[in-house]
Amino acid sequence: MSHQGHEEWISIGDLMAGVIPVVVLMFMVAALQSQLAAAENVEREQQEQRRKLELAATAAALRARGVVGALEAFSANVQRRGLGDVIEVDVAGRRILLQEATFRSGSACLSARVNAALQEQSAGLRELLMSSSEVEVVVEGHTDNEPVGRLPSRGYACALYDDNYTLSTARARQARQALITGWPAALTQRVALGGWGDSRPLPGSNPADSSNRRVEIKIEEGSRRPTPVDRPAAEP
């Protein structure tokens, strides 16, 4: 081999000696980037898992509070606002009773005090429904047995009705509307509505007594939820 050929081989060897470290460095950089990307993916997955656990813990806490807790909170709000004369909270019976002072005779309009209280407490009932698919709210309207003989006075006509059944349904509708304002549609579908007219007076009461002029908001859960046959006549 000539001296010139020997120098060419040396030049190629020098070149390769310079290229190989660069290639190795590139592989190392690529490997490091891959490791960083994998670490970021792991961190994202861990964050998502922590978020799911936090949501599950929140849902569990809401379920633990349950219906009784929601009604106790409602009761405390009623007492704080001085509304005991118009709203009765029956925790054991799982119902909220809007008493006769809520409505004028022959009217379906909610008093401003009750309307404000229902809107204020609606967030608690919304959270309760969101915490469990087994929970449902049933809003039932009732009347005394005084026949509807004329249109309600000006300023008290929230709806038109020609008998006690339509009047009771109108009362239930007004209470339901105060509760579900701003709710997502999926939740409003779990707030049923019905009117019993004067067919279900309070136990031991005179059917003509004004105490039967009321709305009952019942919270049903699991086996306590009524079957379609048991439900009140729903508004069309």
At 201, which CATH number? 3.30.1330.60
For residues 146 and 208, is the Cβ–Cβ distance under 8 A? yes
**Residues sharing a CB contact under 8 Å with residue 32, sequence separation 6 or more, in sequence order:** none
pLDDT band at residue 59 under the 50/70/90 scheme? low
Using alpha carbons, select from 177, 187, 190, 183 the residue that is nearest to residue 141: 177
Q: Is residue 41 part of a domain?
A: no
For residues 151 and 157, is the Cβ–Cβ distance under 8 A? yes
pLDDT in tens, 79-94: 888 888 889 999 989 9
For residues 102 and 232, is the Cβ–Cβ distance under 8 A? no
Q: Which two tokens stand for residue 225?
A: 């939820």
Q: Is residue 212 part of a domain?
A: yes
53 pLDDT more than 80 = no
d(CA 6, CA 11): 9
45 pLDDT more than 50 = yes
- Structural domain containing residue 135: 66-224
**pTM, rounded to two decimals:** 0.64
Q: Is residue 230 part of a domain?
A: no
Q: Is residue 37 part of a domain?
A: no
Length of the chain: 236
Q: Is residue 82 part of a domain?
A: yes
The structural domain count of the chain equals 1
d(CA 143, CA 217): 15
pLDDT in tens, 147-198: 876 555 555 556 667 789 999 999 999 999 999 999 999 999 999 999 999 9
Q: Which two tokens stand for residue 24?
A: 């190795």
For residues 217 and 175, is the Cβ–Cβ distance under 8 A? yes
